[in-house]
Amino acid sequence: MQKGNFQLTLQTSSLVLGFMVWVILSSLMPYISADITLTANQMTLVTATPVILGSLLRIPIGFWTNRYGARIIFTISFIILILPVIIISLANSFFMLILGGLLVGIGGAVFSVGVTSLPKYYPKEKHGFVNGIYGAGNIGTALTSFLAPVLADSFGWRLTIQFYIILLILVALLNFTLGDRKEKKVHAVFSQQFKSVYKNPKLWLLSLFYFITFGSFVAFTIYLPNFLVNHFGLEKVDAGFRTAGFIALATFLRPIGGWLGDKFNSFLILVVVFSGLTFAGFLLSFTPSLPIYTVGCLAVAICAGIGNGVIFKLVPLYFSKQAGIVNGIVSAMGGLGGFFPPIILTILHNWTGHYAIGFMSLSEFALASTILVVWLYYQDKLSLANQIVESTGQGIMVTDLNGIIQQVNPAFTKVTGFTLDEAVGKTPNILHSGKHDKEFYKHMWKEIDEFGYWQGEIWNKRKNGETYLEWLTISTLKDDSGHPKKHVAMFSDITNQ
């Protein structure tokens, strides 16, 4: 546990720097655009470009972390990041900004390292909180949003960007010297791991949920500085402070979201999260005044922060053996969720003159996610019920009201010899031993009709013709209005007793 706490500190600090570098362009765009001539569409593309590689690279980085360990991946990533930082600081054209922005996306891609590595050091009941603390490393976006404009006012935006080179070298050395050399490795083939998860609907539902929550966080992070300056006429530093506040609130609530996921049902928390995002998107779609707009943004920060923490509680819960690649896929979808909204908002604004349709789209996507979370919640409960039926030691047979068998469990097959395919569609007559007369069964069903159940000893016959004595309970299942729906028989072989 002590080693885990140290690695948690080191890896979270590394993520802070990765996210600091990731949002250099969006935080300094008001300064860069004053020095390099860019159209509105070009500014949007430059600020959104880091999200592309920062999203797509999360898949292989999650897989590589399982294979090589966090120490190696963090060290190599920060060394590579030095190149795009230099390119951006020397940029004098749209093309150089795009090139540097694409490569600087590695700073966002390193998110997959910790969510893959850190759960190895902690028990499952702490995974949500631990991943939440690590995810709080996105406070790095707030640090850059807050500090970069202040430094740019004093030293210029180019020198401000070059300061990051020193931090990258320092943190790369810290990971290389202090990273865990004995981290548990998982040597698996990428294609095999992908094939084992891509057909699982939970993977894509979690990806959609993270697309909305983390995508909202990233989109507002890169969209707010320029929007607050151009739309509300705020000063550049003031816009940076407000953006930093948005980021800080979402970041602070991320570990709280993970902790809530550990303590309570994660699906119920996500229902609240997406309901809140539905309201926030609806509110922002009316292009309100700055105070009301601030309320809407804060609602997005609260819901996105909690949602980000809860979702990464569910990933290791459902995919413990494929955590690396699944973390990569889910986090990649979240990153892509931050790439498209700013571009779509800009295009829609150019077409319509306002942002209403874009924000209403956020509201509708969040509403659809709310419905899907509710469905997944009941599917999870149904899956648990099926697992209980499948694993219980008693034979179970479910019939409709006409006595047609609809479902049996493995224990039924073990006792009777009839498989699922052989039993379904037949009636319980296949088990009749011939030792009971019609009056016996008439009395049995009379009690079931009057009291809703019957319990007692009965002789039945296996598939091989052998008779056996069982203790049988037949119950009637009813719907919400009290009408009979199905019959369920539970039995145990008591012949030897």
Residue 78's pLDDT is what?
A: 93
Mean pLDDT for all residues in the chain: 81
**What's the CATH number where 105 sits?**
1.20.1250.20
**What's the CATH number where 459 sits?**
3.30.450.20
Residue 166's pLDDT is what?
A: 92
Q: Could you say which of 389, 416, 441 is where a domain stops?
A: 389
Please list, residue by residue across 425-454, b when 16 or more beta carbons sit within 10 angstroms of its beta carbon and e when fewer do. Answer: eeebeebeeeeeeeeeeeebeeebeeeeeb
Only one residue has tokens 């020095």, namely: 35
Give the SS3 label for residue 477.
strand
Total structural domains in the chain? 2
Distance CA 166, CA 171 (A): 9
Angle at which helices 24-35 and 40-56 pack, to 10 degrees? 150
CB-CB contact of 354 with 187 (8 Å): no
Residue 192's pLDDT is what?
A: 64
Distance CA 146, CA 240 (A): 5
- Residue 269 CB neighbour total at 10 angstroms: 21
Residue type, 341: P
Q: Indicate whether 74 and 150 sit together in one domain.
A: yes
Residue 24's pLDDT is what?
A: 86
Residue 178 in tokens:
């202090």
What are the distances in angstroms from CA 206 to CA 324, 376, 380? 15, 10, 14
Angle at which helices 236-263 and 127-135 pack, to 10 degrees? 170
Q: Cα-flanking dihedrals φ and ψ of residue 93, to 5°?
A: -150, 165
Q: Cα-flanking dihedrals φ and ψ of residue 398, to 5°?
A: -110, 130
Residue 390's pLDDT is what?
A: 63
Residue 349's pLDDT is what?
A: 67
Q: Indicate whether 369 and 405 sit together in one domain.
A: no
Residue 1's pLDDT is what?
A: 54
Q: Indicate whether 417 and 336 sit together in one domain.
A: no
Identify the domain containing residue 107 by its residue range.
2-389
CB-CB contact of 20 with 171 (8 Å): no
Q: Which of 84, 356, 324, 302 is nearest to 189 (CA)?
A: 324
Q: Indicate whether 401 and 381 sit together in one domain.
A: no
| Residue spans of alpha helices (H) in 264-322 | 266-284, 290-318
Strand pairing report for 484-493 and 405-408: unpaired
CB-CB contact of 87 with 46 (8 Å): no
Q: Indicate whether 400 and 256 sit together in one domain.
A: no
Residue type, 60: P
Distance CA 76, CA 362 (A): 36
Q: Indicate whether 268 and 367 sit together in one domain.
A: yes
Distance CA 239, CA 117 (A): 36
Q: Indicate whether 381 and 396 sit together in one domain.
A: no
Q: Indicate whether 333 and 445 sit together in one domain.
A: no
Q: Indicate whether 377 and 439 sit together in one domain.
A: no
Residue 173's pLDDT is what?
A: 94
Residue 76's pLDDT is what?
A: 92
Per-residue pLDDT reduced to its tens digit, 31-40: 888 888 888 7
- Blockwise average pLDDT, block size 10, the chain, 497 residues: 78 90 84 82 79 78 83 92 91 88 87 83 78 80 82 88 92 90 72 67 81 80 74 76 82 82 83 89 78 84 87 72 68 71 69 72 83 80 62 81 86 87 88 87 86 87 88 82 82 81
Angle at 114 between CA 112 and CA 116, to 5 degrees: 70
- pTM confidence score: 0.62
Q: Which residues contact 199 (CB under 8 A, 6 or more apart)?
A: none
Q: Indicate whether 95 and 125 sit together in one domain.
A: yes
Q: Which of 338, 314, 328 is nearest to 266 (CA)?
A: 314
Q: Indicate whether 67 and 141 sit together in one domain.
A: yes
Per-residue pLDDT reduced to its tens digit, 338-350: 666 766 766 776 7
Q: Indicate whether 45 and 143 sit together in one domain.
A: yes
Q: Could you say which of 340, 372, 389 is where a domain stops?
A: 389
Residue type, 104: V
CB-CB contact of 460 with 467 (8 Å): yes
Q: Could you say which of 352, 372, 389 is where a domain stops?
A: 389
